[in-house]
Structures are given as structure tokens and as C-alpha cells.
Structure 1
Amino acid sequence: MSRNAKSSSSKPKVSRRVYSEEFKLDAVRLVTQEGYSLAAAARSLGVHVSQIRKWKEKFMPQDKESPSLTEDEKAELKRLRAENRRLKMERDIFKKSHRFFCEGKSMRFAFIEENEQSFEVTAMCQTFQVSRSGYYAWKQREPGVRQLRQQKLTEEIRAIHQENQQVYGSPRIHQELQERGRKCSVNTVAKWMREAEIRAKTTKKFCVTTDSNHHLRVVGNLLNQQFDSPTQANQVWVSDITYLWTDEGWLYLAAVLDLYTRKVVGWSMSKTMTADLVGDALKMAIGRQHPGEGLLIHSDRGNQYASDAYQRLLREHGIKCSMSRKGNCWDNAPMESFFATLKKELVYQERYTTRQRARLSVFVYIETFYNRKRKHSALGYKSPEQFEQAT
């Protein structure tokens, strides 16, 4: 059965998902560190708000009430917060608008109009050294019908681009516009994106290293690059390890990907690259997906995957093991492709001061964006979870 065709068989009873402690703690950090409300975090992760609340109570018990501030201290705190907001706004305006400083007033006015919902008009006018009265006079001019249509669609293109972490190019944005009932060609979308300087994030070189210099037992390549062989979810998974640099040192990420839905079904992060790392990622996948008999999981032949602990975990759950040939990264191409996408769209755009900042960033990308929102060309421009639910 192809990926783009719905299954005609009845859907099996959905088992209760089991979330790892690692997942729960990162979900709580969305609320305590990233400013998400409980409801917003629950929506982003596809869980019930009561679960987030329960996890928060478990990991973040209420501290004892701190001493109250004096009136002078409250006033000073309010002033400092206002000053911090002003400086942050000025910085953000400059970062986003620096290329417009050498442009004419019309281009600067256009930037101000496009960003009225993000920044104060007065602050933007001061940054560009233009008057508010001049800006509002420019706004009152009547544009033509064609210009209005282009402006409206460009605003929608920009919104789609921002909503999807600035990683969508013209094909995916065109698909999203089509789904919203907007009539335009992919070439028109590409042209307007160029004119508005809306670009998908760029990539860097991606390399993979695997420590296969060990004497542990390895198995054959049962998958044999048959990446389109699965006909339903939880038939074939692939797994691998990658690494992210932070100012504190390396952070290692192990992930498990379902070949049929292209969903990241399990992951784990640690400052050390051990058998526990790949084992924890697999345990998360098993707890969330509850695979049946006959599951095949493919990985490289690194010592983490060949370890006794990992192989014992596979036997306990009746999972068949497949390993890439030595030095052949193409045998695990879908997993390599996911890591390349992760680094292109997220990691290479950031500088992580701590491992905790990096892990929370990756958690948000995988759980709120990649699995739930990002359109996948191999899935008929559906997200992995949309495709999983439709089949």
C-alpha cells in the first residue's frame, strides 16, 4: 500500500502512550523556561493539559514564598523591566531591518507596516529616523488591485514562513497556500518571496562518524536500503546518533524514526555517547507506539547498537535487528536525512550556551514542529502525525 493511500483495514485499538521522564521534564521546561502557558504547551505536544500540570507539580514543586519587596524596590524593578523591553525591542528591530537603512523611505515605510504587530510604530520610526506623520501619510495612499493582492499574499507567505521556523521554501509554502484556498502558481510564490527577501534557512556540510572498531557481535543488513518497503506504521524503524556543539561541550542525540510515517517516535539526549543513550531512545519509541510482532529496527554497527544491553532490549520486545555495512552511510539514508534537516533548519541557526538550552531547542523542534507541523514531500505534503492519523 502506498503512503498516499489510506488503509482499508480497520484501525487497531489505540494503546495508551507512555512518556519517558526525559520527555516529561522537557515538556515542563516549555512552561517554566520558554513562557508557554499550560494550555499552549499541551496543544503543541498533543497531550492533555492535565498531564502537563501533573508533570509540572512532580518536577517543579512550589517554592516557599519569597519575602515581599518594598515599594521602592517594586518601582525600580518595574523601571528596569521597561528599560529591558525597550532595549530588546531596539535590538530586534535593528537585527530584522538593518538592510533597509540604505533604502528609500518607501521601503522603510513598507517594513514598518509589515511589522506593526511585532514592534511599536514609534520605536521603528525612531530607528529609521522617519516621522510618524510621514509614515501614516504614506499608509493612506490607495494601492492598486494587483498591488493589494500581492501585498496580502506576501503577508500570508511571510506568516507561513515564520510559523514554520523559516525553513519552508516556495514549494512547501505554495502547498500551504493551496490548502488555504489561495490561487497562485509556485513560480509566483517564488518570485514574491525573492522580492520580499523571504528565504528558507541554508545548510552546511553534514558528516557522520560511527565507532565500529570493536569486537562486539554485529548482524547483517536485513533492510538492504528498501526504504519504501513498509506498508504501515511500526513495521520498520531506523536509528542513529548525532552530536550538537554547545559552549559546555558536546550534546549527543539518539533518535528513532518510523520509515513509513517519517515520524521521530523516540529520542534521547546526553553529554555521553553510551548504550544507555540509544536504549533510552528505543524505550521512548516502544512506550509511545506499542509496536506489535515483527518490527525491524535498522542502525549502524557502532558499539552502542552492538552492546549487550541494547541487544537484550531488542530480544525482550521481539524486535529484529538490522545493521548497515561497514562505512556505508547510504544504508541508513533516511536517518541521515533527518539529522541533516535538523541541523540545517535549527542547529546551524543557533549558538547554544548550555546543553540544557540545546536539548530544549531540539525537543521543541521535534515534538512541536517536525512531527506535528512540518510538511514532508514524501508524505504528500502532510506532517508525520497528520499522515499517521490518516492511514
Structure 2
Amino acid sequence: MANHKHGKRYNDDFRKMVVDLYRSGQSARELSSEYGVSEVTIYAWIKKFNPVELEDGSSVTPDDYAKMQKEMLKLQQENEILKKGYGHIRKKVTDNDITDFIEQEREYYPVHTLCEVLGVPRSTYYQSLTFSISKQEQENRQLTKEIIRIFNDSKQRYGAPKIHHLLELAGYHVSLKRVQRLMKKANIRSITTKKFRPTPSKEKIIERENILERDFETKTINEKWVGDITYIHTLKQGWCYLATVLDLHSRKVVGHSFGRTMTTELISTALRNAYETQQPCEELIFHSDLGSQYTSDEFAFLITEFNIKHSFSYKGSPYDNACIESFHAILKKEEVNHVQYLDEYSAKIALFQYIEGWYNRKRIHGSINYMTPQEVENICRNIS
């Protein structure tokens, strides 16, 4: 694979959305882990786009605000532990009851915090784990815990094959059938479903050159991009629209834009964001359908400005752009079909979190050897 060395780039839409998420309650550490941006960079964005002001007119530094949030999070965790723990504890309760509860909640809270709040010595808890359980039962419990962790990390989107693959990567020697059996016993099922999407109105279409010709093979990133628009429904504004740009090599969504109208500006913003972030230096092909936005003079000017070759699907041939159609199908099955968005802004935040936090950085793909799109891009850029 070719090497493309440069620092990470982020467009303003990305920066502002991260700042909005910070202001909505997520910590800088969480955002750093979720989107691969250093905490220092996040604080710089906060200072640039949204300094923190208090109700009395005074202000605090991002560092002070982050410390306050961390302390509030700790207090919130302690409060939740007390509510959950003592809801199970009565006057007469054995050490086993308490340690079982700690074992159940350790996925969500640190063991030392659980023990401290519940008044249990850590030694009591750890000794309880040495009780003899059959080897098979012990393995099944551990496997089920890992299955639940992977399942929840995927926001309930992964089925048995992907969970099985990740278990093997983690060093577990287990069959797919056993994973399926344990998932069934734990009542775990992938949430992905299919749903109706509206069909755009038919227009008179003029054929244009199809450079791609369904040749989706690539050697590295930024050789072939594909773009399309999909519909997202909201309660207040009705149908909104998501324009995306996908790199065929990494399967990464390199650019996206969301709005209430399906305009040329929407797809232009998605392409600008992709170009600004990726900075392609080799010859690049961008493939789309023959929609009026993609065939407009305004978009053709932008394509020329970026020195990109524009390829178009043949009339009535959806398979020419199958990869971006596949992404939109995944987006609907894993996210959109399970949520009713209030308005454009709430949908925009949720889609940003899905694309940038989940799909690009965490979701493994069978078509790219069970790697994430960001991992494939990092290999191409020789970034460890």
C-alpha cells in the first residue's frame, strides 16, 4: 500500500460538532477516545468555538470545567451504585449476595469504588471469585460477559459472526455455534432491521460518462470516492437529507453533510469536507448517480476546482453505486430505523456520533478483513 504521511485534519463541521457534544455533557476524555482527537486539541476547539460562561457572567477555563465535570461524574456514579446496590440489599444478606452484585456491576463501575460505597473489603470480593465452579460453567460465564461487552460496545448492532471474530482476536478459542448458543441463552439479538424509504420523483435523465464501470478495486486510499444522498425523517421538520462521500479502499465515510433541503450545496459541502480532511494528492475519481444535484453546473465547477474526475452511474443501474447504497442500508438498519429524531439538530448529532464515533472508528467490516475503516486508512498513511 502506498504511504501518505501527514497529520490528522478535521473540517469545521467536525470541530463544531465535537464542541457541541462537549457542551452537552460528554467529557474531553470520552470524546478523545470516541473520535481519535487529543484532549489538548479538543480544549483548543472549545476555546475557539464555545468558551464556557457561568450564569453570573463569570467564566472558567476548559480545564477547570473538565475537573468539575469529572467530580460530578464520580458523584453521579456513587449515587447510582447506592441506588442499584441497596435496592438489592436487605437486613439479612450474605457476602455472596453483595459480591454477586459487584461482579454484575463491575463492567460499569471500578471495583474499588463499588467496594468502597457498599462497605465491602476488596479482599472479600476477590476471595469470593475463588469459589469452585465447574470449568465449563466458568468459561461460559466469562464468554457471556465478553459477548455482552462486545454486543453493548457495538450498541447492539453486532450479530454472532462479528462477535465470534472479535472473541478470537481477544484470544478466546470458541466455535461460532457456541457463541450463538450463549447469545440465545442470554437473550441477545442484533437490533438491525430493514425499513421503507421514500423513492425520489422521476426526472428526465441524460446519460454521462461512467469511468468507474463497477470497478471497485483500489490499491490505496483517495483513488476512488463514491457519493449519494439518503433520507432521514424527523418529527418537527419531516424529511431531512444526508449527503455522504465514501472512500472505496477504506470504506471510510470521508465527508458528510446534513440538512433540510436536498440541494447542490448539501452535496458540495460533503465533498468539500472530504477534500479538506483527506487532502488527496493523486488522481481521484468521484462516482455518483445522475441526480440533478450531481449533474448541476455548480457541482461540476467544484469538481473541476478540486481536479477530480467525475464518473456517473448508467441510467436505471443502482448497482453502479452499490458501495454507497450499502453504507446507507447499514446506517438505516443499525441506527436510523431504531430512533425517532425530534428535529434536524438532534438527528445531525446522532448521525455524527454514528458515522464518526462508530462506523469509521469502531465498526469492523468483513470486506476489509474485519478491520475498521480508520485502521485501513492509518495503514495507508503509515500511522501507528
Q: Structure 2 matches for 1:1-391, cutoff 5 A?
A: 7=1, 11-14=3-6, 16-33=7-24, 35-66=25-56, 114=104, 142-207=132-197, 209-210=199-200, 213=203, 219-227=208-216, 229-248=217-236, 249-391=238-380
Asked if structure 2 preserves the Cα contact closer than 8 Å seen for 1:212 and 1:303, the reply is no
User: Tell me, what secondary structure is at the counterpart of 2:257?
Assistant: strand
| Distance in structure 1 (CA, Å) of the matches to 2:371 and 2:298 | 36
Using the size of structure 1 for normalisation, the TM-score is 0.77
| Distance in structure 2 (CA, Å) of the matches to 1:115 and 1:195 | 20
Asked if structure 1 preserves the Cα contact closer than 8 Å seen for 2:195 and 2:337, the reply is no
Give the drift of 1:312: 0.5
RMSD: 2.9
User: Tell me, what secondary structure is at the counterpart of 1:303?
Assistant: coil
For residues 65 and 323 of structure 1, do their structure 2 counterparts lie closer, same or farther at Cα, with a shift above 3 Å needed? same
Give the drift of 1:139: 10
Asked if structure 1 preserves the Cα contact closer than 8 Å seen for 2:197 and 2:231, the reply is no
For residues 347 and 112 of structure 1, do their structure 2 counterparts lie closer, same or farther at Cα, with a shift above 3 Å needed? farther
User: Tell me, what secondary structure is at the counterpart of 1:304?
Assistant: coil
For residues 305 and 39 of structure 1, do their structure 2 counterparts lie closer, same or farther at Cα, with a shift above 3 Å needed? same
| Distance in structure 1 (CA, Å) of the matches to 2:108 and 2:33 | 23
The one-letter code of the counterpart of 1:233 is I
**Kindly, what percent of the aligned residue pairs are identical?**
38
Asked if structure 1 preserves the Cα contact closer than 8 Å seen for 2:195 and 2:332, the reply is no
Q: Any unmatched runs of 5+ in structure 1?
A: 1-6, 69-77, 94-109, 120-137
The C-alpha deviation readout for 1:139-197, integer Å capped at 9, x for no partner, is 99853221111011101100011011111111111111111111111111111111111
Q: Any unmatched runs of 5+ in structure 2?
A: 59-71, 88-99, 110-127
| Distance in structure 2 (CA, Å) of the matches to 1:388 and 1:20 | 17
For residues 116 and 385 of structure 1, do their structure 2 counterparts lie closer, same or farther at Cα, with a shift above 3 Å needed? closer
For residues 17 and 151 of structure 1, do their structure 2 counterparts lie closer, same or farther at Cα, with a shift above 3 Å needed? closer
Give the drift of 1:273: 0.9
The one-letter code of the counterpart of 1:25 is K
Asked if structure 1 preserves the Cα contact closer than 8 Å seen for 2:218 and 2:224, the reply is yes
Asked if structure 1 preserves the Cα contact closer than 8 Å seen for 2:195 and 2:333, the reply is no
1:98 aligned residue: none
User: Tell me, what secondary structure is at the counterpart of 1:306?
Assistant: coil
The C-alpha deviation readout for 1:261-308, integer Å capped at 9, x for no partner, is 101000011111110100000001101111124211111111111111
Using the size of structure 2 for normalisation, the TM-score is 0.78
| Distance in structure 2 (CA, Å) of the matches to 1:21 and 1:322 | 28
2:61 aligned residue: none
For residues 210 and 320 of structure 1, do their structure 2 counterparts lie closer, same or farther at Cα, with a shift above 3 Å needed? farther
Give the drift of 1:332: 0.9
User: Tell me, what secondary structure is at the counterpart of 1:360?
Assistant: helix
2:91 aligned residue: none
| Distance in structure 2 (CA, Å) of the matches to 1:382 and 1:201 | 21
Asked if structure 2 preserves the Cα contact closer than 8 Å seen for 1:206 and 1:340, the reply is no
| Distance in structure 2 (CA, Å) of the matches to 1:210 and 1:218 | 18
| Distance in structure 2 (CA, Å) of the matches to 1:211 and 1:289 | 33
For residues 295 and 210 of structure 1, do their structure 2 counterparts lie closer, same or farther at Cα, with a shift above 3 Å needed? farther
Asked if structure 2 preserves the Cα contact closer than 8 Å seen for 1:246 and 1:358, the reply is yes
